[in-house]
Amino acid sequence: MLRHILKAAIASVLLAFSAQAEQTALVGGRLIDGFGHRPIANSVILIKDGVIEKVGTKETLKVPEGYNVVSTEGMDLLPGLWESHAHLMLNGHADYEHWDKAYINRLADEIMPASAAQLLLAGVTSARDLGAPLEASVSVKARIASGETPGPRLFISGPFLQDEPYPGTEAFRWGVKSVSEAREKVKILHEAGVDIVKLIDQDKMDYEVAKTIVHHAHKYGMKVVAHSHRPDEIRRGLQICVDNFEHTGLTTAPEYPADVMEKLKERTATGRVAGGPLYWTPTVEGLWNFQYTVDNPEKLDSNCWHRGLKDDTIADIKQSIQNPGQLGYTQLTPLRRPTLKRKIAQLREAGLVFLVGTDSGIPMKFHCQSTWNEMDVWVNVMDIPVMDTIRAATYWPAVMMGVADKQGTVSKGKYADIIGVKGDVLRHINLLSRVDFVMKGGTVYKYDGQVNEAAMGPLALTN
């Protein structure tokens, strides 16, 4: 009986949230605001029209009349998380060749909106989508911005730019062979409303072509991220002044070459003179945890990744990952795993600023799980301090993308993008596996672990 009463009470609260109260007060929780200092106990956060008005404590900030008071007692509150390396066009299917053909016409209406909804309910209120067809990317970003589709604040790259697209991937990979073509394609991306240019295989490009891509992207105010799988990709990326490297390498080499590390240290030593920090998104969790997934694939049976997907899509993904240890995609992973700690240590020693990103969407990596898994591995395996890890998923991505005036911290004038968990997240980072409270722009999408379906809308219903 008590359980039913509690459910009814939560349902009534969610119904009230669906009205999107213009004035809300979050009262009682411990606030980890993203700035990295001591958390604020018994916090009070006043929100008006989706923006944070004031932040204080129960002793220092009285809730004015007319505010909808939401209790956050017993919770740790944080800025909404950033997922800095997502693939919304992917949902964990293990056969790219099949997926790219079978779902290319379902990306904009089914696949990418489903990915966005799953990220949001996992506490991700901002995401960088790094690689998808241009039209679909722009469409989904616009629909999220307008409120038509639930999802994180989206920063998109559209298609990858590379020397030559892999066969069958031309819809979302653009080859660039000349300086004039570099100018033209960066301009197309800019005029479409893209935020990021994503480079891969830049070491295979003519130097002037690669340099032109970065120069024109920066001229238009876009950021440039680049793969770092090979030492020459890093060397070339540094030469052409990319903003952010992605991944930790595809090979079994035990560490980064000495000359690469010296070049990275030279770059980080210049700091603001070079335009700010050099960022790195290592995406290590999928590699580190792969053997655990093979030994215990139960997490693949979670239905959290079903949300928004059609029944035939779910069935197709399920059949593709029935034998996780036999996938060609992952055969080198066990040999790469032992190199990760050393590589992470090298990058940290060199002064890189890390961003939390996961490659979410690649085989067996679901949008509802990936971000917290990455943070857990950083803290409990890679020995990265928990506050540094949280800031790498909140504060630093907003700085990197040039939106720190509106995002990244829970402070006056910022968007009310706030998440909460029951318990001490500074001691137990994997509490983020079950985010209890999700607010984006003042709208509550999850409360006490239950989804506010009225806010999610019909496009993201659970199957």
In this predicted model, what pLDDT tens digit does every residue of 325-363 receive, in sequence order? 998 888 999 999 999 999 999 999 999 999 999 999 999
pLDDT for 4: 45
307-330, pLDDT tens digit by residue? 999 999 999 999 999 999 998 888
pLDDT at position 169 is 95
Kindly report, residue by residue over 221-261, the tens digit of the pLDDT: 999 999 999 999 999 999 999 999 999 988 899 999 999 99
- Domain 2-80+409-460, CATH among 2.30.40.10, 1.10.150.530, 3.90.1150.10, 3.40.630.30: 2.30.40.10
pLDDT in tens, 121-155: 999 999 999 999 999 999 999 999 999 999 999 99
Does position 162 have pLDDT exceeding 60, yes or no?
yes
Of the two residues 376 and 8, the one the predictor is more confident about is 376
The pLDDT confidence band at residue 14, using thresholds 50, 70 and 90, is low
Strands of the sheet with 68-71, listed across from one edge? 51-57, 43-48, 23-27, 68-71
Return the domain boundaries, the chain. Answer: 2-80+409-460, 81-400
**Which H, E and C letters describe the chain, residue by residue?**
CHHHHHHHHHHHHHHHHCCCCCEEEEECCEECCCCCCCCECCEEEEEECCEEEEEEECCCCCCCCCCEEEECCCEEEEECEEEEEECCCCCCCCCHHHHHHHCCCCHHHHHHHHHHHHHHHCCEEEEEECCCCHHHHHHHHHHHHHCCCCCCEEEECCCEEECCCCCCCCCCEEECCCHHHHHHHHHHHHHHCCCEEEECCHHHCCHHHHHHHHHHHHHCCCEEEEECCCHHHHHHHHHHCCCEEECCCCCCCCCCCHHHHHHHHHHHHHHHHHCCCCEEECCCHHHHCHHHHHHCHHHHHCHHHHCCCCHHHHHHHHHHCCCHHHCHHHCCHHHHHHHHHHHHHHHHHCCCEECCCCCECCCCCCCCCHHHHHHHHHHHCCCCCHHHHHHHCCHHHHHHCCCCCCCCCCCCCCECCEEEEECCCCCCHHHHHHCCEEEECCEEEEECCEECHHHHCHHHCCC
Q: Is the pLDDT of residue 13 over 70?
A: no
Average pLDDT over residues 72-80: 98
Give the separation between CA 218 and CA 164, rounded to whole angstroms. Answer: 22
Q: Mean pLDDT across the stretch 365-370?
A: 97
Fold topology of 81-400: TIM Barrel (3.20.20)
Report which of residues 14 and 151 the model is more confident about.
Answer: 151
- What pLDDT is stored for residue 5 in this prediction? 42
Binned at pLDDT 50, 70 and 90, residue 273 comes out as low
pLDDT of residue 220 exceeding 60, the answer is: yes
Region for residue 429 given its phi and psi (left: phi exceeds 0; alpha: psi -120 to 50; beta: otherwise): alpha
**Mean of the pLDDT values across residues 84-103?**
97
Q: What is the mean pLDDT of residues 54-68?
A: 97
pLDDT in tens, 170-218: 999 999 999 999 999 999 999 999 999 999 999 999 999 999 999 999 9
Q: In which band, very low, low, confident or very high, does the pLDDT at 21 lie, cut at 50, 70 and 90? A: low
Task: State yes or no: pLDDT of 51 exceeds 70.
Answer: yes
Whole-number average pLDDT of the chain? 94
